Amino acid sequence: MSTHRSLQFSLDRSSPVPLYYQLSQQLEAAIEQGGLAPGSLLGNEIDLAARLGLSRPTVRQAIQSLVDKGLLVRRRGVGTQVLHSQVRRPLELSSLYDDLEAAGQQPATRVLLHTTEPASARVAAALGVPEGAEVVLVERLRLAHGEPMAHLRNHLPVGLLDLDGDGLAATGLYRLIRAAGITLHSARQTVGARAATAAESGLLAEPEGAPLLTMERTTYDDTGRAVEFGSHVYRASRYSFDFQLLVRP
Amino acid sequence: MSTHRSLQFSLDRSSPVPLYYQLSQQLEAAIEQGGLAPGSLLGNEIDLAARLGLSRPTVRQAIQSLVDKGLLVRRRGVGTQVLHSQVRRPLELSSLYDDLEAAGQQPATRVLLHTTEPASARVAAALGVPEGAEVVLVERLRLAHGEPMAHLRNHLPVGLLDLDGDGLAATGLYRLIRAAGITLHSARQTVGARAATAAESGLLAEPEGAPLLTMERTTYDDTGRAVEFGSHVYRASRYSFDFQLLVRP
DNA sequence: GAGTGGTCTAGACCACATA
DNA sequence: ATGTGGTCTAGACCACTCG
């Protein structure tokens, strides 16, 4: 017995958008908007394929992408079930700027420093360049609603992209990197905490010794080349990291 | 022109292990052990399939699983390339206990509290139970090399599993949950920082006001049911979160 | 133009869960 | 016993990259 025979999907075979993607988008929309109730079964793949005039592998590909997103669960012998919804915020490699903007926090950036310097041992190791080689250094203060939120310190290999001060002030670093045609692939992150130094307390308007959240991140492009190494400090009173993660099956 | 014609793979069709999985495991091993050099091309899928006596979809499935793991990159018109390796530590829903054990840190647990109490508004919201309903509360102190590392406070729905004190002292909570036949699916996490309270400073052997890392986590099983809500505090001087994340393509 | 991955088809048989 | 997803095949055509 299958469910949801009544759901309508419209597939456009003349569209350049793949059929499995059209279907997964419409399934996702149906889940988000409640057309497919949490806990309900999706109906078996063979019927669904027949009803849509698609082959089973194509339907499976659509379903699989939603399983990977954590929206559906498949059980052999049982069926495909809509997961009882939780907040869906996958862990993404987003920039603080975009996060703040999406939250309506009116982000702004003050560029404190934009120069080159010889790579320290740690920066050199992260970026995969020789120690002492010239690397770009950018230091920024990130504000939200005019209040300081974080102190951002980034090192980049020289020649990777042309950073201009206006771009840095107007948007996030990741957007500039992507705009330069670089495909980001992965990042290594370390999140910790420590007490604010005197200098940081002045920059971030926190008392000296106040707890700060720290993040170090090395970002790689799809050739495995290190693109950026960041050492960031956030006001713990104003910011926390918030994300969802899925268990690898 | 394809590369790596010489690589040997042995597939066992009589094994219950799927062929695509046998292949992906052997490919991964070849990558890890350097048999497939970073940056090198894998050779096209059709030849590989023919050479192995498999169909192309099966070979694609094997390759895709490694792309999802971040080990390979596919480019249309170019080929499949081994990524220049970085540390491979995907973000997993692992327990602190397992992490410490894997790092050779000799973890230990002191169970401070194991009882039930009425759910506060926040706990009730996280677990999806009515406010004031009885929930299990477990408080533990986690040690490494005999030194306190973290204070762990977990709430669970009653009746979900039978926690016994011995199990809690001997291993991590997640292992007990999985051992009870529960399939973990996802978690929502918030990581922040704050200053140690007087009580925490005593428990964790940190000065009062010292920076602490905090994590709140709600874990869900594969039916979408909340299984556990944790409020944990880590000594920032001793611990940081460390993970890798992949960009969603 | 040649070579690559991306998509799609129409079947088949198997393993597992449930009644 | 039935129904489900899991795996696998042997093709096909298309879109993209690069020389």
CATH of the domain at A36: 1.10.10.10
Domain check: are A41 and A67 in the same one? yes
Measure B62 CA to C11 C1' (Å).
Answer: 22
Domain check: are B70 and B130 in the same one? no
What is the pLDDT confidence band of residue A35, given thresholds at 50, 70 and 90? confident
Residue A200: its pLDDT value, please?
96
CA dist., res. A199 & res. B55, Å (int): 62
> Residue B8: inside a domain, yes or no?
no
Is A226 within 8 Å of B168 (Cβ atoms)? no
CA dist., res. A132 & res. A115, Å (int): 15
Strands (E), A20-106: 72-75, 79-82
> Residue B149: inside a domain, yes or no?
yes
- Which B positions 28-87 lie with beta carbon below 8 A of chain A? 38-39, 57, 68, 70, 73, 81, 83-87
Whether this model's pTM surpasses 0.75 = yes
User: At CA A38, angle to CA A37 and CA A43, rounded to 5?
Assistant: 70
3-class DSSP assignment, residue B6? coil
pLDDT per residue rounded down to tens, chain B (249 residues)? 445 555 788 999 999 999 999 999 999 999 988 888 888 889 899 999 999 999 999 999 999 999 999 999 999 999 999 998 766 666 677 788 888 888 888 899 999 999 999 999 999 999 999 999 999 999 999 999 999 999 999 999 998 888 887 888 888 999 899 888 899 999 999 999 999 999 999 999 999 999 999 999 999 999 889 999 999 999 999 999 988 888 877
Domain check: are A110 and A225 in the same one? yes
> Residue A141: inside a domain, yes or no?
yes
Domain check: are A40 and A151 in the same one? no
Give the pLDDT confidence of B29-72 residue by residue, as tens digits.
999 888 888 888 898 999 999 999 999 999 999 999 999 999 99
Domain check: are A55 and A161 in the same one? no
Instruction: Protein contacts on strand C: list nucleotides below 7 Å from a Cβ.
Output: 2-12, 15-18
Answer yes or no: is A3 CB < 7 A from strand D: no
Domain check: are B68 and B101 in the same one? no
Burial group, residue B159, by CB count within 10 angstroms (0-12, 13-18, 19+): exposed
Tell me the residue range of the domain where B44 lies: 19-82
Domain check: are A106 and A55 in the same one? no
Domain count, chain A: 2
Q: Which CATH number does the domain housing residue A170 bear?
A: 3.40.1410.10
Based on its alpha-carbon atoms, the radius of gyration of chain B, rounded to whole angstroms, reads 23
Strands (E), A158-225: 184-195, 211-221
Residue A1: its pLDDT value, please?
41
DSSP B123-163: HHHHHT--TT-EEEEEEEEEEETTEEEEEEEEEEETTS---
CA dist., res. A149 & res. A141, Å (int): 8
Residue B2: its pLDDT value, please?
40
Domain check: are B61 and B101 in the same one? no
Q: Which DSSP helix (H) or strand (E) runs through B187?
A: strand B184-195
Q: Does B224 touch chain A (CB under 8 A)?
A: yes
CA dist., res. B207 & res. A11, Å (int): 63
Q: Which residue in the set A220, A225, A247 is minimally distant from B93, CB to CB?
A: A247
Nucleotide nearest to B80 (CA to C1'): C5
